Protein backbone atom coordinates (compact mmCIF):
# COMPACT_ATOMS: atom_id res chain seq x y z
CA UNK A 1 0.00 0.00 0.00
CA UNK A 2 2.76 2.44 0.97
CA UNK A 3 4.70 1.84 -2.27
CA UNK A 4 1.53 2.32 -4.30
CA UNK A 5 0.66 5.47 -2.40
CA UNK A 6 4.14 6.86 -2.83
CA UNK A 7 3.95 6.14 -6.56
CA UNK A 8 0.57 7.86 -6.81
CA UNK A 9 1.80 10.86 -4.87
CA UNK A 10 4.81 11.01 -7.14
CA UNK A 11 2.58 10.85 -10.23
CA UNK A 12 0.45 13.62 -8.74
CA UNK A 13 3.45 15.82 -8.73
CA UNK A 14 3.96 15.84 -4.98
CA UNK A 15 7.51 14.66 -5.51
CA UNK A 16 10.39 16.88 -6.66
CA UNK A 17 9.53 16.43 -10.38
CA UNK A 18 6.38 18.49 -9.88
CA UNK A 19 8.39 21.60 -9.15
CA UNK A 20 10.46 21.38 -12.31
CA UNK A 21 7.66 21.36 -14.83
CA UNK A 22 6.23 24.33 -16.70
CA UNK A 23 2.78 25.92 -15.96
CA UNK A 24 -0.24 24.41 -17.76
CA UNK A 25 -0.45 25.67 -21.30
CA UNK A 26 -3.23 28.19 -21.67
CA UNK A 27 -4.10 28.02 -17.98
CA UNK A 28 -4.57 31.29 -16.14
CA UNK A 29 -1.84 30.85 -13.55
CA UNK A 30 -2.77 33.18 -10.74
CA UNK A 31 -0.86 31.36 -8.09
CA UNK A 32 2.62 32.80 -8.30
CA UNK A 33 4.14 30.47 -5.74
CA UNK A 34 2.34 27.31 -6.89
CA UNK A 35 4.16 24.23 -8.07
CA UNK A 36 4.45 24.14 -11.84
CA UNK A 37 3.03 21.42 -14.09
CA UNK A 38 2.95 20.98 -17.83
CA UNK A 39 -0.26 19.95 -19.61
CA UNK A 40 0.92 16.35 -19.46
CA UNK A 41 1.79 16.68 -15.78
CA UNK A 42 -1.67 18.06 -15.01
CA UNK A 43 -3.41 15.20 -16.80
CA UNK A 44 -1.06 12.63 -15.20
CA UNK A 45 -1.92 14.11 -11.83
CA UNK A 46 -5.68 13.96 -12.53
CA UNK A 47 -5.32 10.39 -13.83
CA UNK A 48 -3.39 9.38 -10.70
CA UNK A 49 -6.07 10.89 -8.48
CA UNK A 50 -8.75 9.00 -10.41
CA UNK A 51 -7.08 5.70 -9.43
CA UNK A 52 -6.95 6.41 -5.70
CA UNK A 53 -8.92 4.64 -3.01
CA UNK A 54 -10.20 6.51 0.04
CA UNK A 55 -7.01 6.02 2.05
CA UNK A 56 -4.84 7.27 -0.77
CA UNK A 57 -7.17 10.18 -1.43
CA UNK A 58 -7.07 11.24 2.23
CA UNK A 59 -3.27 11.07 2.27
CA UNK A 60 -2.98 12.95 -1.03
CA UNK A 61 -5.25 15.79 0.10
CA UNK A 62 -3.49 16.07 3.48
CA UNK A 63 -0.11 16.34 1.70
CA UNK A 64 -1.26 18.40 -1.29
CA UNK A 65 0.71 21.51 -2.20
CA UNK A 66 -0.73 22.00 -5.67
CA UNK A 67 -1.87 25.56 -4.98
CA UNK A 68 -0.86 28.31 -2.59
CA UNK A 69 -3.69 27.56 -0.15
CA UNK A 70 -1.46 24.79 1.22
CA UNK A 71 0.68 27.50 2.81
CA UNK A 72 -2.09 29.09 4.83
CA UNK A 73 -4.28 26.12 5.77
CA UNK A 74 -4.29 24.45 9.17
CA UNK A 75 -6.04 21.33 7.89
CA UNK A 76 -7.01 20.22 4.42
CA UNK A 77 -10.62 19.06 4.66
CA UNK A 78 -11.49 16.09 2.47
CA UNK A 79 -15.12 15.60 3.46
CA UNK A 80 -17.22 13.60 5.85
CA UNK A 81 -20.06 11.13 5.80
CA UNK A 82 -21.37 7.88 4.43
CA UNK A 83 -19.00 6.60 1.75
CA UNK A 84 -21.94 4.89 0.03
CA UNK A 85 -24.32 7.82 0.35
CA UNK A 86 -27.08 8.43 -2.15
CA UNK A 87 -26.97 12.14 -1.27
CA UNK A 88 -23.80 14.15 -1.92
CA UNK A 89 -23.75 17.76 -0.74
CA UNK A 90 -21.01 19.98 -2.12
CA UNK A 91 -20.07 23.41 -0.76
CA UNK A 92 -17.36 25.88 -1.67
CA UNK A 93 -14.39 25.62 0.70
CA UNK A 94 -13.61 25.23 4.39
CA UNK A 95 -14.18 28.28 6.58
CA UNK A 96 -12.17 29.25 9.66
CA UNK A 97 -13.75 26.68 11.96
CA UNK A 98 -13.57 23.90 9.36
CA UNK A 99 -9.90 24.74 8.75
CA UNK A 100 -9.21 24.56 12.49
CA UNK A 101 -11.07 21.28 13.04
CA UNK A 102 -10.51 19.50 9.72
CA UNK A 103 -14.21 18.84 9.16
CA UNK A 104 -16.57 20.43 6.66
CA UNK A 105 -19.61 22.43 7.73
CA UNK A 106 -19.03 22.87 11.43
CA UNK A 107 -19.95 26.09 13.25
CA UNK A 108 -23.01 28.20 12.53
CA UNK A 109 -23.29 27.35 8.83
CA UNK A 110 -22.90 23.68 9.72
CA UNK A 111 -25.72 23.88 12.23
CA UNK A 112 -27.95 25.51 9.62
CA UNK A 113 -27.03 22.77 7.15
CA UNK A 114 -27.96 20.13 9.72
CA UNK A 115 -31.31 21.87 10.19
CA UNK A 116 -31.84 21.99 6.43
CA UNK A 117 -31.08 18.28 6.21
CA UNK A 118 -33.38 17.53 9.13
CA UNK A 119 -36.17 19.44 7.40
CA UNK A 120 -36.20 16.80 4.67
CA UNK A 121 -35.58 13.94 7.08
CA UNK A 122 -31.83 13.59 6.47
CA UNK A 123 -28.96 13.42 8.91
CA UNK A 124 -25.29 14.03 8.25
CA UNK A 125 -23.42 10.74 7.95
CA UNK A 126 -26.55 8.67 7.29
CA UNK A 127 -26.87 8.22 3.52
CA UNK A 128 -25.31 11.69 3.20
CA UNK A 129 -21.75 12.72 2.34
CA UNK A 130 -20.59 16.34 2.59
CA UNK A 131 -17.61 17.80 0.73
CA UNK A 132 -16.32 21.06 -0.70
CA UNK A 133 -14.93 21.97 -4.11
CA UNK A 134 -11.76 23.32 -2.47
CA UNK A 135 -10.17 21.28 0.27
CA UNK A 136 -8.21 24.17 1.82
CA UNK A 137 -9.44 27.47 3.19
CA UNK A 138 -8.91 30.61 1.13
CA UNK A 139 -7.51 33.22 3.58
CA UNK A 140 -10.18 35.54 4.93
CA UNK A 141 -12.79 33.41 3.13
CA UNK A 142 -12.00 35.19 -0.14
CA UNK A 143 -13.38 33.72 -3.35
CA UNK A 144 -11.52 30.72 -4.75
CA UNK A 145 -9.29 31.52 -7.71
CA UNK A 146 -9.71 29.64 -11.01
CA UNK A 147 -6.26 28.03 -10.66
CA UNK A 148 -7.10 26.78 -7.18
CA UNK A 149 -10.39 25.29 -8.37
CA UNK A 150 -8.68 23.65 -11.36
CA UNK A 151 -6.02 22.11 -9.14
CA UNK A 152 -8.42 20.88 -6.49
CA UNK A 153 -11.41 19.67 -8.49
CA UNK A 154 -9.87 16.26 -9.40
CA UNK A 155 -10.15 15.33 -5.71
CA UNK A 156 -13.88 16.05 -5.76
CA UNK A 157 -14.26 14.20 -9.05
CA UNK A 158 -12.66 11.14 -7.47
CA UNK A 159 -14.89 11.42 -4.41
CA UNK A 160 -17.92 11.43 -6.71
CA UNK A 161 -16.57 8.38 -8.58
CA UNK A 162 -16.03 6.49 -5.33
CA UNK A 163 -19.33 7.43 -3.70
CA UNK A 164 -21.48 7.12 -6.83
CA UNK A 165 -24.29 9.24 -5.36
CA UNK A 166 -27.75 9.17 -6.85
CA UNK A 167 -28.08 12.95 -6.46
CA UNK A 168 -25.73 15.89 -5.90
CA UNK A 169 -26.81 19.11 -4.18
CA UNK A 170 -24.45 21.99 -4.99
CA UNK A 171 -24.53 24.70 -2.33
CA UNK A 172 -23.41 28.18 -3.31
CA UNK A 173 -22.24 29.80 -6.50
CA UNK A 174 -18.83 28.15 -6.83
CA UNK A 175 -20.05 24.62 -6.28
CA UNK A 176 -23.02 25.23 -8.57
CA UNK A 177 -20.97 26.76 -11.36
CA UNK A 178 -18.20 24.17 -11.07
CA UNK A 179 -20.53 21.17 -11.18
CA UNK A 180 -23.09 22.58 -13.61
CA UNK A 181 -20.27 23.81 -15.89
CA UNK A 182 -21.88 27.23 -16.16
CA UNK A 183 -21.12 30.85 -15.34
CA UNK A 184 -24.76 31.58 -14.58
CA UNK A 185 -25.93 32.90 -11.21
CA UNK A 186 -27.47 30.69 -8.55
CA UNK A 187 -30.78 32.45 -9.17
CA UNK A 188 -30.84 31.25 -12.77
CA UNK A 189 -29.43 27.78 -12.06
CA UNK A 190 -31.77 26.81 -9.24
CA UNK A 191 -35.25 25.42 -9.73
CA UNK A 192 -34.35 22.70 -12.21
CA UNK A 193 -32.33 19.51 -12.33
CA UNK A 194 -28.91 19.67 -14.01
CA UNK A 195 -26.52 16.80 -14.65
CA UNK A 196 -22.95 16.30 -13.53
CA UNK A 197 -21.47 13.45 -15.60
CA UNK A 198 -24.90 11.88 -15.71
CA UNK A 199 -25.64 12.38 -12.01
CA UNK A 200 -28.68 14.60 -11.34
CA UNK A 201 -27.63 17.88 -9.76
CA UNK A 202 -29.76 20.37 -7.82
CA UNK A 203 -28.44 23.83 -7.01
CA UNK A 204 -29.16 25.86 -3.90
CA UNK A 205 -27.73 28.59 -1.71
CA UNK A 206 -24.80 28.06 0.63
CA UNK A 207 -25.79 27.90 4.32
CA UNK A 208 -23.25 30.67 5.13
CA UNK A 209 -25.05 32.90 2.60
CA UNK A 210 -28.42 32.01 4.07
CA UNK A 211 -27.25 33.11 7.51
CA UNK A 212 -26.79 36.61 6.07
CA UNK A 213 -29.85 36.54 3.77
CA UNK A 214 -32.68 35.02 5.74
CA UNK A 215 -35.42 35.72 3.14
CA UNK A 216 -33.69 33.33 0.73
CA UNK A 217 -34.23 30.48 3.20
CA UNK A 218 -37.65 29.95 1.63
CA UNK A 219 -35.98 29.47 -1.76
CA UNK A 220 -33.49 27.02 -0.23
CA UNK A 221 -36.44 25.09 1.15
CA UNK A 222 -37.96 24.92 -2.37
CA UNK A 223 -34.63 23.61 -3.65
CA UNK A 224 -34.54 20.90 -1.00
CA UNK A 225 -38.09 19.90 -1.86
CA UNK A 226 -37.01 19.62 -5.52
CA UNK A 227 -34.02 17.53 -4.43
CA UNK A 228 -36.20 15.22 -2.34
CA UNK A 229 -38.73 14.82 -5.17
CA UNK A 230 -35.90 14.06 -7.61
CA UNK A 231 -34.40 11.49 -5.24
CA UNK A 232 -37.80 9.83 -4.87
CA UNK A 233 -38.15 9.65 -8.67
CA UNK A 234 -34.68 8.12 -8.85
CA UNK A 235 -35.75 5.36 -6.48
CA UNK A 236 -33.42 6.52 -3.70
CA UNK A 237 -34.08 6.42 0.02
CA UNK A 238 -36.25 9.38 0.98
CA UNK A 239 -37.24 9.63 4.64
CA UNK A 240 -40.77 10.60 5.60
Q: State in angstroms the smallest separation of the CB of 15 from ligand SF4.
A: 15
Q: State in angstroms the smallest separation of the CB of 149 from ligand SF4.
A: 9
Q: State in angstroms the smallest separation of the CB of 205 from ligand SF4.
A: 23
Q: State in angstroms the smallest separation of the CB of 60 from ligand SF4.
A: 8
CA distance 106 to 102: 9
User: Residue 103: which of 125, 70, 126 has the closest Cα?
Assistant: 125
User: Which CB, 25 or 33, lies closer to ligand SF4?
Assistant: 33
User: Residue 46: which of 71, 64, 20, 31 has the closest Cα?
Assistant: 64
Sign of the dihedral through C-alpha 83, 88, 91, 96: negative
User: Residue 27: which of 36, 14, 19, 16 has the closest Cα?
Assistant: 36
User: Which CB, 119 or 153, lies closer to ligand SF4?
Assistant: 153
| 116 Cβ contact list (under 8 Å, min separation 6) | 207, 220, 221, 224
User: Which CB, 44 or 148, lies closer to ligand SF4?
Assistant: 148
User: Which CB, 21 or 219, lies closer to ligand SF4?
Assistant: 21
Residues that bind ligand SF4 (CB under 6 A): 61, 64-67, 69-70, 76, 134-136, 148, 151-152
Amino acid sequence: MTARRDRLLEEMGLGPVWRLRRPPEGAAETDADAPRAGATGASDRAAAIMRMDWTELGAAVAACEACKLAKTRTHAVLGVGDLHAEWLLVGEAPGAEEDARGEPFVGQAGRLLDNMLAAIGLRRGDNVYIANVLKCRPPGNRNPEPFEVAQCVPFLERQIELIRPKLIVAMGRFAAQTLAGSDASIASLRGRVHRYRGVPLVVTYHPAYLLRNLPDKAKAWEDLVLARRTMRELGGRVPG
